[in-house]
Amino acid sequence: MCGITAFSGKGPALPFLMQGLSKLEYRGYDSAGVTTIENSGLKTVKCKGRLAQLETKLEDYHLEGHVGIGHTRWATHGIPSHLNSHPHTNGDETISLVHNGIIENYKELKDELLEHGYHFHSETDSEVVVLLLDYYYQGDMLEATRKVIERIEGSYALCIITTHEPDQIIVVKKDSPLIIGKCDGAYVAASDIPALLEYTKDVYFLDDYEIAVLKTDSITFLNKNFRTIKKELVTVPYDLEAAKKDGYDTFMLKEIFEQPHVIQETLRGRIQDETIKLDELDNIDFKQFNKVHFVACGTAYHASLCGAHILEHLIKVPVFKDVASEYRYNDPVIDEKTLCIFVSQSGETADTLAALRLAKSKGATTIAVANVLGSTISRDADYVLYTCAGPEIAVASTKAYTTQLVLLILFAYYVAQQFGHVDLKAIHELKDLPNLVQKILGDIDSFEQFASLLEHQRDAYFIGRGLDYTSVLEGALKLKEVSYIHADAYVAGELKHGPIALIEEGSIVIAVATQPHIAAKTMSNIQETIARGAEVILITNSLNPPIDARYTYVLPYVSPILQTILVAIPLQLMAYFAANIKGCDVDKPRNLAKSVTVE
């Protein structure tokens, strides 16, 4: 979703703005722009397309201003175009702003402004905000901002600059991420931490409705009531290297290869003397709950399905799972005896955040499983467990998914301990996961060969049962999002209730069979597809699978619960290579955004 950068400091603003926008490219965008305050007034340069096009355009301008704002736009209201791209300015070009989010009541505000004689140049909801600032401005931009905030509904991260008060940026947020960085001789802001890392690791996290006024050498924070407050400066543990490609062609491949390390990091300190330690949750008595809800979107939802399955199996308490966009509108039964787990890499996904707030309002105990430190979901939940995947830049989630699986398995065992259940074998095997993942990565050539079967396919069929079904759901999502091959995942036993009608000579079936109690059943289902002409790629842990699949990969054998983590690697690499052979933009698939901060 949209990316924002802002700079107020001693040097020129443009270098920070542009490097920050490039670090936010992964969020997805279709146009980009910057405004700086020059001696002659506001200078705005923007265009439809990629940052490279903006850079070319900028060569004709000499932007040297010390205060500026930048934006990459992911279209919501209005097509991708020059006019709809940000920053937006008022009529006499004295105020400029960038906005991430959606102003839900923009139509009504627009009508009001039209009545006051204002003209609109774009189809965006954001232009309403800059014209509203113009309308309320009477010599004090902070006061105008206060009045605007009272009027706008929806979600926003806003950075506002004006030639009337040229040494400052006003920053305010609600339900959209915005992080402020303290540098030597500058204060900066951005939608996500990687945009700041080249300049600083010292950050402030803004809460909803909080306002910050950034100047070269001072910063002021105000709360909802416009009273001055103090905020804690936090040093984030990420390093710049982690946000670079490190010699890999793509972030996706780099992040797939980081998995042994980040799994190790996620396990670190959490297994001690054959016990799972999650100190963050020590105050919770899990026996008080009569049901558990897992809520998330996309890949995080697939990780949740696996976590939910394992938790229910271990503690025998009903566990429900839902995608966040459904949960919030399905009138779920939630009360004080409900434990709700929200899983989110970014910690900013709008639907997951709304679901969390719903659960809290009904008295549930909430736990966030998040990757981004200080993200809104991690701060809003009663408790938070962090995956230690580091910054995930590729839009398609890989290392965040496997670390979510690891953490949810640790969580399930942790809760199970309170119920008197301990699985020493699995606890020992957990420690060995990084090595096993490394070993599978060593077989990369096999997955490249398997992926070559997909090059000219329009469709692919993924099948599995039980936990293998949660794995194939994720495998199919990965393949379709990066390679644009239509892929669906089916419970293998459901094939003959409909989907098998699609199987014909040359269809590709990707089958996962790792769960000993049902593997034989899956093998029979695979056989049924082979009999109808399918070419099968089989991922199994059985050394002698009883079927004749030409393309078989045998995984290391571990406890069934842990097998999902190992299965993920071949499926990710097949999706990666399929996209690569087809020449797709692996890191930035079309139409997708990394952090989905709108409904």
The residue ranges that bind ligand F6R (CB under 6 A) are 297-300, 344-346, 349, 352, 396-397, 477, 481, 595-596
Question: Do 502 and 487 form a contact (C-beta atoms < 8 A)?
Answer: no
Dihedral, 162, 167, 170, 176 alpha carbons, nearest 10? 100
Question: Do 383 and 397 form a contact (C-beta atoms < 8 A)?
Answer: no
Closer residue to ligand F6R in complex, CB, 94/346: 346
Q: Which two tokens stand for residue 538?
A: 């089989």
Closer residue to ligand F6R in complex, CB, 286/301: 301
CB of 434: closest distance to ligand F6R in angstroms? 22
Q: Please list, residue by residue across 181-208, b when 16 or more beta carbons sit within 10 angstroms of its beta carbon and e when fewer do.
A: bbbeebbbbbbbbbbbbebbbebbbbee
Quote the CA–CA distance of 389 and 247 in Å, as a whole number. 19
Q: Which two tokens stand for residue 143?
A: 């006061």
Closer residue to ligand F6R in complex, CB, 172/393: 393
CB of 357: closest distance to ligand F6R in angstroms? 15
**Sign of torsion over alpha carbons 386, 356, 283, 318:** negative
Task: Please tell me whether residue 228 adopts helix, strand or coil conformation.
Answer: strand
Quote the CA–CA distance of 212 and 14 in Å, as a whole number. 21
Closer residue to ligand F6R in complex, CB, 314/575: 575
Overall size of the chain counted in residues: 599
DSSP state of 240: G
Of the candidates 52, 54, 109, the one whose C-alpha atom is nearest the C-alpha of residue 77 is 109
Closer residue to ligand F6R in complex, CB, 46/594: 594
Quote the CA–CA distance of 248 and 255 in Å, as a whole number. 9
CB of 176: closest distance to ligand F6R in angstroms? 14
Closer residue to ligand F6R in complex, CB, 483/542: 483
Q: Which two tokens stand for residue 196?
A: 């700041």
CB of 504: closest distance to ligand F6R in angstroms? 29
CB of 287: closest distance to ligand F6R in angstroms? 29
Residue in the shown chain whose Cβ atom is closest to ligand F6R:
298
CB of 1: closest distance to ligand F6R in angstroms? 10
Quote the CA–CA distance of 265 and 263 in Å, as a whole number. 5
**Sign of torsion over alpha carbons 573, 453, 543, 445:** negative
Closer residue to ligand F6R in complex, CB, 44/344: 344
Q: Which residue has the tokens 């105050």?
A: 283
CB of 523: closest distance to ligand F6R in angstroms? 29
Of the candidates 136, 157, 134, the one whose C-alpha atom is nearest the C-alpha of residue 146 is 136
Angle between helices 106-115 and 126-136 (to 10 degrees): 50
Closer residue to ligand F6R in complex, CB, 165/192: 192
CB of 421: closest distance to ligand F6R in angstroms? 29
Of the candidates 444, 413, 445, the one whose C-alpha atom is nearest the C-alpha of residue 427 is 413
Catalytically active residues are 2, 594
Quote the CA–CA distance of 429 and 556 in Å, as a whole number. 11
